[in-house]
Structure formats: C-alpha cells, structure tokens
Amino acid sequence: MRPYRPKDNLQAKAYYNDRFWVAPRIPEEPVEDPVFAADLASLQEHYPIQRAYIQRGQLVIHIDAKENKEVLRYLKEELGYDVLSELSAIDYLAQDGEFEIFYQLLSLEKAKRIRVKCRIKEHEAIESVESIFRSADWSEREMYDMFGIKVNNHPNLKRILMPDDWVGHPLRKTYPLHGDEAAQWYEVDKIFGKEYRDIIGPEQRDAAFVDPNDTCNFARIKHEVPRCADPNSEPIRIEKFNDDAPFVETFDLKKAKIVNRDR
C-alpha cells in the first residue's frame, strides 16, 4: 500500500509528483510443499535448475534459456502442467543487459501454478514453445511486438497490437511514455504526409498546462482579468449584482465562512 498523504490541496497543485513508487519485493521461501518438492526433484534429474523458490504459494524456477522448450515439454507431458496461462518478458537491459522471459503454467489436476523464468541477452533469440502450448502463439507475438525479442520457429512472427509500420518496441524501459518522434507524428504522417506536420502542429500533451500570460485561453484563478487583456492589469472585481438582477442579494465576503474539511 502507498502511504496515505492528505489530498486537500491537490486542486491547487497542477502536477502529481508521487509517481515513481517502487513496490517491495515479495519474499522468497524455500520449497517445502511436498507436491512442488517432488516436481522439482524430478526436474532436477533431467535439467539443471539455477534457482528454485516459492513465492506466494507458487513455485518459481530459473532455467537456462536454451532449454526452455524441453523443460516446458517435460512439465507438460510428465508433470501434468498442461495450461500456459501467460508468457511475456521483463526488461532488465539497464540493470543486467538482459531480458527475463517468464512462462506461467497451471496444472488443473494438482491445482498448482509454476513459473519458469529464463534470461537472454538483448540480441539473442528464444525458441518458440508454440508447438507445445497453442496459447503461446499470440503471447510470443506480443512479446516480439512489445520488446523486440525474436522467437525462432514461430509460425507467424509479426506485430500483434501495434501497426505493422510502427517504429520501436513500446514496453522497453528506454521507450518514452509519450512516444518517440515517429510515434508522435504517426497518424499525421500516415494520413496526410509529412508536409502536414506544420499545419497540424505538435501534440498538446500537458493537460495541466496553464499559461498565465495567455488570457485569451486561460483564466488565472484569483486574478481574473477581462478576456485577452494584459495579464498584469487590474483583476475584475464584481462589487454588486443588484443593478441588473433586483432579487439577487450581493454576497458579502466578510460574512463567508470557509469550511475546513478534515478527512
């Protein structure tokens, strides 16, 4: 949970700065569960397992990336983990120069979940597991689309979410959130052509932006001048309404009470 911070004056602050919160890591526990211990022992006879531990009741094993297909086949055919529910990658390029690829498996019979992890370097490819689990087809395409990880022997390796002519791989940590130049002008370039960039102009990304000197488009709260007037001119003060609205009483600021809402 994030620590609670009072949010009373959030309206006055245009920018929210509590963004880069790092979640604590889930603790790793030794493999004591008898079902997992038996599965792990059986796996270790055939393939070298680099690390194995339990996280939140799930067995996590780290293997060599070259053996991913054999390990998954063994898990499916011998140990009964017959559903591949998720497969993707995590970008650790800045830390270790590697991608971590994970396979999330489920055994309906044992009601157990197991996560297989392996690491590859940036320009290495991984072997497709599509021939073992059909669900890996689209997941591997998504992994290729989002991270640019090549998958060997995949039947149809092309982008799945982004358009085919997209530049870059958006889920990499180095990809800017607002897109690189090709992404920011993508629709303009594609529909109208590059010469239209000047007419349409760059994207307005900052929704909280208020230009205090532009009085035609923005009102400055507590210092409201007439529209398009000089920003430093005298603000408008409405003293009386009663002239044009005889039944409306003028609001007396001195009598006003500002309620302090404590939450």
Partner 1 sequence: MAQHQVNYAASGGLPVALTTVDKLVNWGRTNSLWVLTYGLACCAIEMMASGASRYDFDRFGVIFRASPRQADVMIVAGTLTKKHAEFIRRLYDQMAEPKWVISMGSCANTGGMFNTYATVQGVDRVIPVDIYLPGCAPRPETLQYAVMLLQKQIRKRSIFQKPKPKRLV
Residues that bind partner 1 (CB under 8 A): 161-163, 170, 175-180, 183-184, 186-188, 190-192, 199-200, 203-205, 207
129 and 152 Cβ atoms separated by less than 8 Å: no
For the bound state, the minimum distance from the C-beta of residue 259 to partner 1, rounded and expressed in Å, comes to: 27
Q: How far apart are CA 23 and CA 161, in angstroms?
A: 28
Q: Which is nearer to partner 1, 37 or 162 (CB)?
A: 162
Q: Which is nearer to partner 1, 199 or 221 (CB)?
A: 199
Q: Which is nearer to partner 1, 1 or 177 (CB)?
A: 177
Q: How far apart are CA 85 and CA 77, in angstroms?
A: 16
For the bound state, the minimum distance from the C-beta of residue 186 to partner 1, rounded and expressed in Å, comes to: 5
- Compute CA distances 143 → 124, 179, 228, whole Å: 14, 18, 51
62 and 50 Cβ atoms separated by less than 8 Å: yes
For the bound state, the minimum distance from the C-beta of residue 9 to partner 1, rounded and expressed in Å, comes to: 21
For the bound state, the minimum distance from the C-beta of residue 183 to partner 1, rounded and expressed in Å, comes to: 5
Q: Which is nearer to partner 1, 161 or 236 (CB)?
A: 161
**Burial zone of 118 (CB within 10 Å; 0-12 exposed, 13-18 middle, 19+ buried):** buried
Q: Which is nearer to partner 1, 30 or 163 (CB)?
A: 163
Q: How far apart are CA 6 and CA 19, in angstroms?
A: 16
For the bound state, the minimum distance from the C-beta of residue 211 to partner 1, rounded and expressed in Å, comes to: 16
214 and 204 Cβ atoms separated by less than 8 Å: no
For the bound state, the minimum distance from the C-beta of residue 170 to partner 1, rounded and expressed in Å, comes to: 6
Q: Which is nearer to partner 1, 207 or 238 (CB)?
A: 207
Neighbouring residues of 71: CB distance < 8 A, sequence distance ≥ 6: 43, 47, 63, 116
Q: Please give the DSSP secondary-structure letter assigned to residue 254.
A: G
